[in-house]
Copies of this chain bind each other. A is one copy, B any other.
Amino acid sequence: MTSGTGETLRTRKQRQTREAIHHAALRRVLDEGIDNVTVAEISAEANVSTRTFFNYFPTKEDAVLGLPEEIADDDAIEAFIDRECSSGDLVTDVSHLVRSVFAVTPNGETFERIREAMTRHPQLRRRQLQRVTAIEQRLSRTVAGHLRTDHRFSDGDVDVDDAARVIVMVCSSAMRLAIQNATRNDAEAGSAETAEHAFDQAVELLRKVIRKLQ
């Protein structure tokens, strides 16, 4: 009965509803501006009640951004860090970790439309930046676990939990900087490529400035 990979009817309906709400929200916000569209209107266009709207997305902004079902859980983070954190450079590793949580790139066209909406409406960018800080605590726990195996932090000079929080904070700063750069009004017609590179550039910049501060 399922068309895809063991996808049950219930699950499929759910995904369709989520996408219907997301697309309706994105379309109307791009057409009329976020402040001229109500949740009721978006819900009507997606054929659900407003109550159902909020079952799928916690805020109107999130519906426009089309958040993935759930931010990667601890296990996913754990798996990722095991796979990718081998460069030996903490800033690089943690930066990639922070970035991975948001690397849910939908198809190109939709991505561009979301970026366009974020550029036009600061509230959307702010919301996206908040998502970064929202996961800092969870990331800190994971990073702390891995710092315990790092020889540079085994001398007891600094508390490992504190160090992890600092590192995550600094790296997520780079992530926020990248988001800001990718959604500046004066940005050249960015394209996904620019958005892809914005993060790497932010990390590189972070590294340069740290060096100067020494």
Q: How far is the CA of A153 from the CA of B208 in the complex (A)?
A: 11
Q: What does the 1/0 interface line of A177-211 toward B look like (CB < 8 Å)? A: 10010000000000000000000000001101111
Q: Smallest CB–CB gap between A163 and chain B, Å? A: 5
Given known A212-B152, A212-B153, contact A166–B205 (CB-CB < 8 A)? yes
A167 and B213: CB pair below 8 A?
yes
Across-interface contacts of A167 in B (CB, < 8 A):
209, 213
Q: How far is the CA of A165 from the CA of B177 in the complex (A)?
A: 8
B158 and A209: CB pair below 8 A?
yes
A70 within 8 A of B: no
A213 and B91: CB pair below 8 A?
yes
A69 within 8 A of B: no
Q: How far is the CA of A130 from the CA of B174 in the complex (A)?
A: 17
Q: How far is the CA of A213 from the CA of B162 in the complex (A)?
A: 14
Across the interface, A176 reaches (CB within 8 A) one of B163, B169, B213, namely B169
A166 and B90: CB pair below 8 A?
no
Across-interface contacts of A166 in B (CB, < 8 A):
173-174, 177, 205-206, 209
Q: Smallest CB–CB gap between A98 and chain B, Å? A: 13
Q: Smallest CB–CB gap between A54 and chain B, Å? A: 18
Q: Smallest CB–CB gap between A207 and chain B, Å? A: 9
A24 within 8 A of B: no
